[in-house]
Structure formats: structure tokens, C-alpha cells
Amino acid sequence: MPGRSLDAQRLRERRVEIRGELEIYRIPEPAASVGTASSNSANPLLTDPAETMRFRYPDGSNNAETVLVHPQTGDIYVVTKKKVGPAGVFRMTPAFGTGTAVTSEKVADVSVPSEPEGLITGGSMSPDGRRVMLCDVKGGYELVLPDGAADPDGAGDSDPGTDGLGDDSQNFSGFVFSP
């Protein structure tokens, strides 16, 4: 859909020793057409330049693979990946192209019924922003926001249900909600 964007994550800790900053890229979503349908690696579809948003965690360095964008507010959520303990959920208001790093705010801790409990590798948010799907290498977990909740800040208080996909031998890396 024109006007939408793809938010690419680059959560590798670039120059952490110096600045402790990371980057998220936003790329305008290309319009789908008959002409763009034939794009492939030999004939790639060119996109508009990406916008960059620099950010940092308030508590120092974290490992993360999951970036979620709230479909109603545009707020960006980064879910950390931890081998011990629950994953942290950090929120920030988009500030692309400002050149100034945003300090994220920790809004929740999330544990999933798996070992380890915080090794989150991917996720997606429903179009209405009321459900969050997270996954680790063993399975998927759905967090449903309580009635009246406007954003997923309190999602860590809900009990994640399993999605029933596969078993521990599967290797999950992400989910996508369909509109």
C-alpha cells in the first residue's frame, strides 16, 4: 500500500563502545504493480532512500532481534533477547532523520512458557494493536491486551498463550498478522 513503510531493524550494536547507539531504518513501501511484480535478484526493485533513527537503551547494552511498530500510534517497540530471565520491552516515539539518538523507555518484561524464557527472536502486532505475537526458536506465543488498554505497554502482565504451531524441533523466526 502506498504511504506505508517497512521498518527494517539493524540492532547490531554499532560503535557501542563509543556511543552505545543502535539504528532502525524506515523504507517507504514500494507500490505493487505489474511492472514491479517481476523484480528479482537480477532485476531488483529500487526503493526510496531509507530514513535512519538512532536510539539507545536506558540501561546500557541489550541484545534484540524483534522490532514492532504499533499500527495506530506508530510507536516503536524493541523486544530484547535474553538467555536468562524475561525479555525487556522498550518503547520509543519515532524520530527518523533527526540525527539525534532517542533514549528508549522500558515499559515491560515478558516471559514466555519456554526455556529459556526470554530468548525472543521475532514478533508481530495485529492491525488493531490489541494482540502481539512473539516467538522464540521453540514456538509462538500470543499476548492479548486487556480491554481498555491503548497500547502494549502492559503486555508483560498478561499470560502468553501458545499458538499450537509445531513442536520443540521447529525453528521459528517470526510471525505476521494479516489485515
Backbone angles phi, psi at 56, to 5 degrees: -140, 160
| 58-162: CATH architecture | Beta Barrel (2.40)
What nine digits make up the cell of 169? 524441533
What nine digits make up the cell of 111? 516471559
> Do residues 12 and 25 make contact, with C-beta atoms less than 8 angstroms apart?
no
pLDDT tens, N- to C-terminus, the chain (179 residues): 345 555 554 444 444 444 578 889 888 887 778 877 888 888 888 888 889 999 999 988 888 989 999 988 999 999 998 888 889 999 999 999 998 999 999 998 988 877 777 788 888 888 888 888 888 877 888 888 777 666 666 555 555 655 555 555 455 566 677 66
**Burial (CB count within 10 angstroms: exposed 0-12, middle 13-18, buried 19+), residue 68:** buried
Residue 21 has a CB neighbour count (10 Å cut-off) of: 16
CA distance 52 to 43: 25
